[in-house]
Amino acid sequence: MIAKPEWFEQRKYSGWGVTPRSWQGWAYTLAVLVLLVIFLSIPDLDSQVRTAGTVLWVAFVVLDILPVMVAAKKDEREYKNEAIAERNASWFMVMVLVIGILYELIISGLSHELSINWFMVLALFGGAIVKGVSNYRMDQKGC
């Protein structure tokens, strides 16, 4: 749409996504932020309109930048390094989710009101399902 792959490069050291590589990428990023700040600075804007506008703007930016992320060129070494980094990040997140679920179970059990954060459970089991399906599909393809 608007963003171009040559304006950005894969983010390696600070999370996921892309980071500006050229002045056009920095101008795009600045324009995205400035337009959002201007919209949010409009006085007397209804909170529902403000929320809807923000959600629509973020959705537009995500849909605009996704093709850029997919089109980013990487060599074989970068694919391998990214896979190892993603694996390590996933293990860390799984460990934090397990500890968080156990903590909630223990604290709520001690107060005799058993409760659990189902989003954490969904994230943990959803990740396990995605991993299983991915491994199954790769086995079927002979990867």
Predicted local confidence at residue 63, as pLDDT: 95
- 61-106, pLDDT tens digit by residue? 999 999 998 887 777 888 888 888 888 989 999 999 999 999 999 9
54 and 80 housed in the same domain: no
Question: Is 82 exposed, middle or buried (CB count within 10 Å of its CB: 0-12, 13-18, 19+)?
Answer: middle
- What pLDDT shows up at residue 74? 75
Q: Which residue, 71, 94, 127, sits at the end of a domain?
A: 71
User: What pLDDT is recorded for position 39?
Assistant: 94
pLDDT in tens, 26-44: 999 999 999 999 999 999 8
Structural domain ending residue among the three candidates 71, 92, 119: 71
Q: Are residues 60 and 35 in the same domain?
A: yes
Mean pLDDT of the chain: 90
What is the number of domains present in the chain?
Answer: 2
Examine the pLDDT at 141 and tell me if it is beyond 80: yes
Q: Are residues 21 and 36 in the same domain?
A: yes
Domain that includes residue 130, residue range: 76-141
Report the distance separating Cα 40 and Cα 51, nearest Å.
9
Q: Are 76 and 61 in contact (CB under 8 A)?
A: no
Q: Are residues 11 and 67 in the same domain?
A: yes
Residues 84 and 137 in one domain: yes
Of 27, 51, 71, which residue constitutes the final position of a domain? Answer: 71
